[in-house]
């Protein structure tokens, strides 16, 4: 058995070996593209299509495959496909074997298939984050940033607002403007030491890309949370968090991606809280204030039907 063949059959997963290898910039783009492919694309994508999508040459694709012990890119893709399928075996065993929604499916079957899709993608997302160092780098960048500006439009703005709502409780200097023009204006005021976090499913939303590019031109660092590795936003970003695609359900890729991105917000919250006890103390302090503002059980006393403070004599109204 040759060393190359031995490497291909090593007990360490191919995803791990690819993510930990010392790679050229073109090879890194190839790996990012491979990790972002849905299962059906891993099974069918040609060498030429893979090279074009990653912005690399076919020779680079074949050279990378041989480096990791495979005869060609087809064999390497199939190895990744087997690993991807193995990740979701445990989930698939407890639900219907067909992931696609059929016209004769009832509400229960549809619910199982939708939640199964979300579970599989969440597990794949966790596995991908474990294979690369982008998560700890993003946590450190957020912790050390002088200020953080969040950019996003449409459904991605919902994710950005959720991130703001979660991370502001840590005491971070983080802000999010819902108006696209205001986002660009805020980007123009950023500088070295600041961090822009741009969220986009496609990585091609014009206002989000413009805000990120403006922040970058001012010396700020840019992190992107997106579903497509090769995109204008991805090209700008210093850090890229890629959400894995899903298959089997029609019209759900963007919505499932949004759910994964909001789960990432929770991951970031807990990573930052664990990293810095001072941030965790900020959470406790803010929660104590907010809890004191909640309505108590006795704040609304039952009154007879038709009664109203306006019927009481002046000076006898309840406060």
Tokens standing for 263?
A: 């789960």
Q: Which helix (H) or strand (E) holds 155?
A: helix 155-167
What pLDDT, on a 0 to 100 scale, did the predictor assign at position 303? 55
Triad 239, 74, 58: Cα angle to 5°: 65
Q: What is the pLDDT of residue 93?
A: 46
Closest CA to 245 of 202, 307, 193: 202
Q: Delimit the domains of the chain by residue range.
A: 15-87, 127-278
For the 127-278 domain, the top CATH level (class) is alpha beta
Cβ 248 vs Cβ 100: under 8 Å: yes
| Phi-psi category of residue 219: left, alpha or beta, with phi > 0 → left and psi -120 to 50 → alpha | left
With contact defined as beta carbons under 8 Å apart, do 259 and 265 qualify? no
Which one, of 189, 193, 238, lies nearest residue 215 by Cα?
Answer: 189
What is the chain's pLDDT, residue by residue, as a tens digit (319 residues)? 333 443 444 456 777 777 677 888 888 888 878 877 766 566 677 888 888 888 888 888 888 888 888 888 888 888 877 776 555 544 444 444 455 677 777 888 878 777 877 787 888 888 778 777 899 999 999 999 999 999 999 999 999 999 999 999 999 999 999 999 999 999 999 999 999 999 998 899 999 999 999 999 999 999 999 888 789 999 999 999 988 765 555 556 677 788 889 999 999 999 999 899 899 899 888 888 888 877 765 565 555 555 554 454 444 444 4
CATH code given to domain 15-87: 1.10.10.10
- Tell me the residue ranges of DSSP E strands in 205-286: 221-226, 239-242
Q: pTM surpassing 0.75?
A: no
């Amino acid at each position: 058995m040759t060393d190359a063949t031995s490497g291909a059959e090593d007990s360490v997963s191919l995803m791990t070996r690819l993510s930990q290898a010392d790679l050229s910039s073109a090879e890194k783009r190839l790996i990012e593209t491979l990790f972002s492919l849905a299962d059906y694309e891993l099974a069918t994508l040609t060498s030429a299509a893979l090279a074009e999508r990653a912005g690399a040459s076919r020779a680079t694709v074949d050279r990378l495959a041989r480096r990791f012990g495979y005869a060609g890119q087809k064999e390497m893709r199939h190895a990744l496909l087997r690993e991807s399928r193995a990740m979701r075996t445990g989930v698939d065993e407890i639900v219907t074997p067909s992931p696609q929604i059929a016209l004769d499916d009832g509400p229960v079957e549809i619910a199982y298939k939708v939640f199964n899709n979300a579970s599989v993608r969440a597990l794949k997302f966790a596995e991908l984050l474990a294979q690369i160092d982008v998560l700890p780098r993003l946590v450190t960048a957020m912790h050390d940033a002088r200020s953080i500006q969040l950019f996003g439009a449409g459904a991605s703005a919902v994710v950005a607002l959720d991130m703001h709502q979660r991370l502001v409780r840590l005491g971070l200097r983080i802000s999010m403007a819902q108006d696209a023009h205001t986002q660009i204006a805020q980007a123009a005021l950023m500088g070295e030491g600041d961090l822009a976090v741009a969220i986009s499913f496609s990585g091609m939303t014009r206002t989000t890309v413009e805000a990120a590019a403006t922040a970058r031109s001012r010396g700020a660092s840019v992190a992107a949370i997106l579903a497509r590795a090769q995109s204008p936003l991805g090209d700008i970003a210093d850090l890229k968090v890629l959400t894995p695609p899903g298959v089997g359900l029609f019209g759900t890729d963007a919505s499932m991606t949004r759910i994964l991105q909001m789960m990432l917000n929770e991951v970031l919250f807990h990573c930052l809280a664990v990293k810095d006890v001072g941030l965790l103390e900020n959470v406790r302090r803010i929660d104590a204030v907010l809890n004191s503002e909640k309505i108590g059980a006795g704040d609304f006393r039952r009154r007879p039907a038709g009664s109203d403070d306006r019927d009481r004599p002046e000076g006898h109204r309840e406060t």
